[in-house]
Every structure is written in structure tokens, then in C-alpha cells.
Structure 1
Amino acid sequence: MAKTLEKARKQIQKKKNGASIDALHQYSRDSKRLHRAQIRDERLDKIASSKRKQDRPLLERVFFFQEFIRESEQLKAVEFETVRAKINEYVHQYDEELNAIKKERRPGRPASMREDLLGMKVASLEKEQKDGFYMPDLTTETNVQLLDKWEKRSWPYLTNLKWVKIAGNGEVRPALFPPQSN
């Protein structure tokens, strides 16, 4: 949360020897300064919320694989075939919901917004699975232990993890974090 407005308020109040800020003239320099600070705070909050919204799918993906590691109760490297099965499970996690929505829809009716969104999400996940699925490397023990220590809200910690792209044909390529939009 941006704090420019609070800082500007304190500075103006200090300049006025503790007098109320409510007594400022509408077009004074100080009121314009407060207005600029408020606009800046709103803009920074909007940018931060859009960044969080953009990062949410990747965080959910990491959380999914962290839960898988924690369920196995052994913080050891996972075999490649198990990783591929887990990727397949992640990609097809919305299939049941999508099929249920399709069955509920009456014949001849257009698809609902939720159905369209789920369809697009499933299609993009399947395409990514074919081209190269981006995920933390679960085949190394140190990386699995680092993933176990990760807290769900901590974005900077994810740079400590080793990342890979696993293609549909089984090819494993190292990747950088955060993912590049190539």
C-alpha cells in the first residue's frame, strides 16, 4: 500500500504547526499537493493489484505442486514419470467442472461466460503442456526442500527455486524465473 498521501499530510500538518488540514483553501499549493499524492497512491495501488492478478495463476501452480510434495511426506526428488502424471492432473483439473456446465446448458443456448473462460483456460493449459509446461524442478532434492519451505504469498522466494519447462515429448529444458513471454 502506497503511503505518499500520509507522508504529505504529516509534512503539511508539521508546516502548519499541527493545525487542521481541513482548513486548507481549495486551490492552495498544499491542497494540490495532497491531491497529487492521493492520485499517485491510487495509481500505485491499481498497478500493484493488476500485478497480483497477473501473478496469481503462477502462484496457484506452485501451490499445487507444493501440496503434492507435502502429501508425499518425503522431501525427496520425484521420478520423472510421476511429475508428468502430476502435470497431466494439473492440466485436466477443470475438465469435470467444464463437462458439468456443458451438461446443464440447454440445447441451442450459447455457452455461458464461465464455460467460455474454463474452455480457454483448459485449451491454454493443454497447449502449454504440449509446447513446454513451466514448473519448479521436482527431480532434485534441494529444489523439493526449497519448495516445501515456500510460503504462498512470497513471490521473491520463488527466484531461489530451479525452474524447468517439460515438453509433451518428454524434453526437459531449464527455464528462468519469472517466465518470459517468448
Structure 2
Amino acid sequence: MPLAHNLNKVSKNLSKSTGSMHIKGRKFKQLNRATVRDKKLKLQKVESVEKKSNELLIVSFLQEQIVNDDNKPSYTLSEIQDLIESFIGQDRQRLNEVKQEHRKGRPISTKQKLLAEKLKHEEHLFATGYKIPDLSHEETVTRLRNWNGTTGATTGFKFVHVSKDMKEFPTVEVEMKE
């Protein structure tokens, strides 16, 4: 089986030949496979970046909340659950504002649909377990306060899943997947 080449390499090799390509020819098929492969890789990269940025939204929100409270070295489970509730509450507030702007007899806007889906997803995550930095751990709290906002800097955080119905912290921490 031939090695997979990227689109640039395939198109460079094909441009060296002097003849034109036929639709059913080997070189045309080679270029087509490389193009499809390149599109697939770009789509996967965009999805990965979007997923990481969505995961970092709650981390950046938590950082904003705890930066001003320097005298508190760690947080209890109920305080962390309140912080997550306030994070979800932001989207509830935005959704209510959009609903108030909505005129009767008009179809629901795309923005309202997206906010409703996002809110539903966040509430589901909170019911099943939100993956956040462990704010009960003092070192993680200080690292979060000094966090620069990049994905790579989150490797120093200790992560846990926190759900709405939890009564105590889990004993096993979860590592963030890159």
C-alpha cells in the first residue's frame, strides 16, 4: 500500500509531469485522495480546537471568580457547585434576554436555538459531572490564579468531575486529555 502524502507533496509531484490529467487516470485519483484526506484532517483539527476552547470556558470563568479572593486558599464542594451554577446562570440570563427581545409571530432566532441547546448541554454536564480544576486543592487554586489562559498551561491543574448531586469529593482525579 502506498504511503499517504499530504496534498502539497502530491500536487508538487504531479506538477512535474508534462501531460494533462485524465479524469479516470491514476494521477487524478491520487490527487483526489490527497484532497479528501487533507479536508478530513483540517475538519478534525477544527473540531479539536473547538472542543478544547469549550472546555476552557469554565476554567477561565473559575479563574475570573477566584482571582479577586486571594485570602481563600481552597474551596469546599458546595462553593464549587455554586460557582458552576453561576457559570450556567450566565447562559440562562442571556437566553432570557433573547426571549424577551423575541417578537410574537416570528420564528425563533438561530441565536436563541443555539443558546437553548448550549444551556441544555451544560445542565446535562452538571448533572452527570463537570470536569473542572480541583479547587479544594490549594496548589491547583494558586496555579489557576496565575493561569495565562492557554491549553498547555492546564497540564499543571488537578482535575475532578463535579456534579450537582455530589455530597463529597471523589478520591480519584481525572487527567485532561490533549
After TM superposition, the score normalised by the length of structure 2 is 0.71
Q: Secondary structure at the match of 1:134?
A: strand
Alpha-carbon distance between aligned partners in 2 of 1:100 and 1:52, rounded to the nearest angstrom? 29
Distance 1:127 1:164 in 2: 17
Cα offsets for 1:129-180 (capped at 9, x unmatched): 34433211111122224434555442x554543221223244222452448x
Q: Paired residue for 1:98?
A: 95
Aligned partner of 1:70 in structure 2 is: 67
Over 6 Å off, 4+ runs:
none
1:33–1:140 CA distance, 2 compared to 1 (3 A): same
The whole-number CA distance in structure 2 between the counterparts of 1:106 and 1:9 is: 53
Quote the residue 2:20 is aligned against: 25
What corresponds to 1:6 in structure 2? 8
Secondary structure of the residue that 1:129 maps to in structure 2? helix
Q: Distance in 2 between matches of 1:124 and 1:46?
A: 22
What stretches of structure 1 of length at least 5 have no aligned partner?
A: 14-19
Match of 1:165 among 158, 161, 166: 161
Contact 1:137 1:164 in 2 (8 A): yes
Whether the 8 Å contact between 2:80 and 2:135 is mirrored in structure 1 is yes
Shift of 1:90: 0.4
Structure 1 CA distance for aligned equivalents of residues 60 and 135 of structure 2 = 13
> One-letter code of the match for 2:21?
Q
User: Residues 1-182 of structure 1: matches in 2 within 5 Å?
Assistant: 4-8=6-10, 12=13, 21=16, 23-27=18-22, 32-73=29-70, 76-148=73-145, 150-154=147-151, 158-171=154-167, 172-173=169-170, 174-178=172-176
Contact 2:21 2:27 in 1 (8 A): no
% identical aligned pairs: 26
Report the Cα offset of residue 58 of structure 1: 1.0
